[in-house]
Amino acid sequence: MKVTILQFPGTNCEYDTQHAFESLGATTEILWHKSESVPADTDLLVVAGGFSYGDYLRSGAIAKFSPVMQAVKKYANEGGKVLGICNGFQVLTESGLLPGALKRNEHLHFISKHHTLKVVNNENDFLKELSCGDVVNIPIAHHDGNYYIDEQGLQDLYANNQVLLQYSDAKGEISNPNGSVDSIAGICNKEKNVFGLMPHPERAMEKLLGSDDGVKMLQGFFKA
């Protein structure tokens, strides 16, 4: 499996992401934001976390104009699988590849800690190694992780099984750290080939570092 990982000025999770996928047996390539095409052998394109362009204007608002994003849109529109993690999720919403937007956290503070998530829907390549209702312990680290979508958009997400993950406590009950609508932590597009989440599964690959729950999350892509 070949995983291509985008890198913008300010990206800081590309090497964690590379390590995570290589530990699962993938080959990887880091793709600079000025590239105008996605490598033809790419099986999964990851928009990694960090602070693209310093989060100036709004998180992901400048990155969407990078040359590589036209290639990303083409790749996604042709059915290629795309995963946006944290800032990558923000970039995908700003680019229109995923619905909704990410706002400043409700309490206006940067949050950095492990947080449990409940699997809402596993009928997709990303989470198919998990079961609905499973609770996973995954780090979060964001200032603008407050997911917003209007009421009609929210209804559409649920109608199309696009809500993938919710912030929860260890028992699966709602526990919302940032004010996200309906405690949403991750979604996908209607076609289920573009995925976005604020938590960092690439940082949950080893029990020694607090959790290895990210392994099953990422393994789904290997069995697509």
Please name the amino acid found at residue 182: D
Query: Is-catalytic flag, 200?
Result: yes
Instruction: Please give the distance of CA 161 from its chain centroid, rounded to a whole number.
Output: 16
Query: Is-catalytic flag, 106?
Result: no
* CB proximity list for 206: less than 8 A, separation 6 or greater: 212
**Is 55 in a helix, a strand, or coil?**
helix
Query: Is-catalytic flag, 115?
Result: no
Q: Dihedral (C-alpha) 178, 144, 30, 79: value to the nearest 10 degrees?
A: 80
Q: Which of 86, 94, 142, 188 is catalytic?
A: 86
- Per the CB < 8 A criterion, the answer to whether 79 and 191 are in contact is yes
* CB proximity list for 184: less than 8 A, separation 6 or greater: 147, 157, 163, 165, 166, 167
Task: Just list the catalytic residues.
Answer: 86, 200, 202
